Amino acid sequence: MSEVVKKNLPHSFDIEEAVIGAMLVDKNGVEEAMQVIKDSSAFYDPKHIEIFEAIQKLYSNSEPIDLLTVAKQLRSNDSSVGPEEIVSISQKIVSSAHVEYHSMILLQYRIRRMIVMFNTSVTVAAMDETVDVFDLIARWQNEFDSVADVITKGRASVSIYETMKELTKRIEFISKSTGDNSITGIPTGFKRIDRFTSGYQPGDLIILAARPGMGKTSLVLKTVLENAKVGNAVGFYSLEMDRVQLTGKIVANDTNYHLKQLLKTGFDKPQYWESYMVEHNPRISDYPIHIVDEGGGDISDIVVQARQWKRKYGIKLLVVDYLQLVGDKTKKGNRENEVSSVSRRFKLLAKELKIPVIVLAQLSRAVESRPNKRPLLSDLRESGSIEQDADIVQFIYRPDYYSIEIEGNHEYEEMVSEGANTEVIFAKYRGGSTGTTNLKWIGDKTKFVDPTDPNESVSKLPDGNVYNNSSQIVGDLPNATDVFGDGSPF
């Protein structure tokens, strides 16, 4: 950066002197300033920086702060600032009445300087054709994160009086929500899971984990669809599946089509195609679902995209598929540290955007080596920090995945009696108790349904019709026998 730019960076000598002076004449001024200013980078003038660092040193050692002790600490630091200079600053201040306000102004100047400096450096780098543009974008994002950190560090604390008012509003809202529809967050798409969680809550990080092929994407797509239908915009960041495959799963989940019809065989009768185009294509095309399948796998790329979705569409839910494919360029070399950083940033993103973030995850092969195949928290691959950062950890367990017969098996009596074949295990639930609920997996349609919800029971639908999850039977569409001859799943 040129010397001209450095000399003209945003700053205010008068405000810096006002803050330093307030800290010199009143110990309360020190306390209030330190709540906002965390380090000397808030100051621009080199002498002011040295004086603040001397005051900060005394403060951290719980030593008295006055003209004499600060002058002594400056000498100890081999500072060029003399006693007469700190006396001159202190004489300009009558009291520390406005020190918190002045400190916030200093913080704003600090942020302005950061923006000017990193924009200048990024601009210079952008002119260099040897610099990778995607690395440049990542660098830009990291710099913006640094600015956000400065803002966060400068926030004042909130009294319990204020937090009690927030809690009271929440209790009032929850108390008015009664019965089966008592959802205080966003709907999950399954009444059983809604009863367990009251919906996924803003700021929550939900880890949905299972072995490959267990149905993680299908389960989360039901949540995506349920929110889209009530107008909640959803962002889906897919690192595993391309957008056409993902859209095929969405359609299969929202209709009674077989996934094979949508992605492999197509329709063999004109009326099937007509029904698809007339009934389902327009309806599903209007859902506020936004998909990325070509972005980088770095956490910074996902953060940038999520913030953009939030600004443009006001997304109420973010889904990432899946965790083990996400990296962090700043933590290369140690995969465990990398995953720890990624999971932490997902949690911070959920809090920042005030939305639930659902991240799919693979379980380790350790599950396969045990007689009891039900997943455990220790099966989460690569990092224990996933468990630590998550508000909810959900596992999917399907006995048929391991060729376990549930009919006549005492262990699965309750599941069979409910017409279910899948356990959704809440292995961690920060907002409630752990436990298990049952769902039904329909393999040929790659979807989960709630077996006790009459609106979900596919077996009760007339053959040849498609259920669109809006309590209506629509169209005249093919059943398995029409298309495959014997109706066997694929």
Catalytic residue among 31, 85, 143, 240: 240
Give the pLDDT confidence score for residue 237 in this predicted structure: 94
User: Cβ of 198: how many Cβ atoms within 10 Å?
Assistant: 17
Residue 46 predicted with pLDDT over 90: yes
Give the pLDDT confidence score for residue 33 in this predicted structure: 87
Confidence bin at 3 (pLDDT 50/70/90): low
Confidence bin at 486 (pLDDT 50/70/90): very low
Of the two residues 482 and 119, the one the predictor is more confident about is 119
Give the pLDDT confidence score for residue 455 in this predicted structure: 65
Give the pLDDT confidence score for residue 142 in this predicted structure: 73
SS3 label, residue 429? strand
Of the two residues 318 and 183, the one the predictor is more confident about is 318
Mean pLDDT calculated for residue range 164-177: 75
Give the pLDDT confidence score for residue 96 in this predicted structure: 82
Q: Which CATH number fits domain 186-484: 3.30.470.20, 3.40.50.800, 3.40.50.150, 3.40.50.300?
A: 3.40.50.300
Residue 476 predicted with pLDDT over 80: no
Residue 309 predicted with pLDDT over 50: yes
Mean pLDDT calculated for residue range 469-480: 36
Mean pLDDT calculated for residue range 312-333: 86
170-174, 187-191, 420-424 — which is least confidently predicted? 170-174
Give the pLDDT confidence score for residue 192 in this predicted structure: 87
**Cα 356 from Cα 226, distance rounded (Å):** 14
133-142, 187-196, 233-242, 245-254 — which is least confidently predicted? 133-142
Q: Which of 172, 184, 42 is nearest to 114 (CA)?
A: 42
Give the pLDDT confidence score for residue 264 in this predicted structure: 82
Residue 478 predicted with pLDDT over 50: no
Confidence bin at 487 (pLDDT 50/70/90): very low
Quote the tokens at residue 228: 């889209």
Confidence bin at 225 (pLDDT 50/70/90): very high
CB 10 within 8 Å of CB 125? no
% helix, strand, coil for the chain, step of 5: 55, 10, 35
Residue 482 predicted with pLDDT over 70: no
Give the pLDDT confidence score for residue 296 in this predicted structure: 62
| CATH topology (fold) of 3-153 | DNAb Helicase; Chain A (1.10.860)
What percent of the chain lies above the pLDDT cut of 90? 29
Give the pLDDT confidence score for residue 388 in this predicted structure: 84
Residue 302 predicted with pLDDT over 60: yes
Quote the tokens at residue 168: 């009271």
Hey, what long-range contacts does 304-309 have (CB within 8 A, 24 or more apart)?
304/137, 304/141, 305/235, 305/237, 306/235, 306/237, 306/349, 306/353, 306/357, 307/353, 309/233, 309/235
CB 316 within 8 Å of CB 227? yes
Q: What single string gives the DSSP state of each residue in 248-304?
A: HHHHHHHSS--HHIIIII--SSHHHHHHIIIIIHHHHHTS-EEEESSS-SBHHHHHH
Q: Which of 448, 66, 51 is nearest to 220 (CA)?
A: 448
Mean pLDDT calculated for residue range 1-28: 82
Half-sphere exposure of residue 201: CA atoms within 13 angstroms, side-chain side:
18
Write the single-letter amino acid at 426. F
Mean pLDDT calculated for residue range 275-296: 85
Give the pLDDT confidence score for residue 55 in this predicted structure: 92
Residue 435 predicted with pLDDT over 50: yes
Residue 308 predicted with pLDDT over 70: yes
- Classify strands 435-442 and 422-429 as parallel, antiparallel or unpaired: antiparallel
Give the pLDDT confidence score for residue 2 in this predicted structure: 54
Residue 280 predicted with pLDDT over 60: yes
Give the pLDDT confidence score for residue 471 in this predicted structure: 30
- CB within 8 A of 204, min separation 6: which ones? 185, 350, 356, 357, 391, 392, 430, 431
- CB within 8 A of 442, min separation 6: which ones? 448, 449, 458
Mean pLDDT calculated for residue range 442-462: 67
Of the two residues 432 and 435, the one the predictor is more confident about is 435
Quote the tokens at residue 432: 């409630």
18-22, 222-226, 242-246, 287-291 — which is least confidently predicted? 242-246
What percent of the chain lies above the pLDDT cut of 70? 86
Quote the tokens at residue 209: 């984990």
- Classify strands 473-474 and 466-467 as parallel, antiparallel or unpaired: antiparallel
- One fold for both 3-153 and 186-484? no
Mean pLDDT calculated for residue range 264-274: 81
Write the single-letter amino acid at 298. D
Of the two residues 182 and 113, the one the predictor is more confident about is 113
**Cα 118 from Cα 287, distance rounded (Å):** 39
Residue 6 predicted with pLDDT over 70: no
Give the pLDDT confidence score for residue 5 in this predicted structure: 55
Of the two residues 474 and 166, the one the predictor is more confident about is 166
Give the pLDDT confidence score for residue 71 in this predicted structure: 93
Give the pLDDT confidence score for residue 324 in this predicted structure: 84
What is the dihedral angle through the alpha carbons of 322, 376, 348, 140, rounded to the nearest 10 degrees?
Answer: -40
Give the pLDDT confidence score for residue 279 in this predicted structure: 83
Of the two residues 206 and 170, the one the predictor is more confident about is 206
Give the pLDDT confidence score for residue 177 in this predicted structure: 62
User: Is this prediction's pTM over 0.85?
Assistant: no
Half-sphere exposure of residue 121: CA atoms within 13 angstroms, side-chain side:
12
Give the residue extent of every domain in the chain.
Answer: 3-153, 186-484
**How does the average pLDDT of the chain come out, rounded?**
82
For residue 381, give Cα distances in angstroms to 122, 261, 330, 348, 485: 36, 34, 20, 21, 42
User: Would residue 240 show up in a list of annotated catalytic residues for this protein?
Assistant: yes
Residue 294 predicted with pLDDT over 90: no
Of the two residues 489 and 222, the one the predictor is more confident about is 222
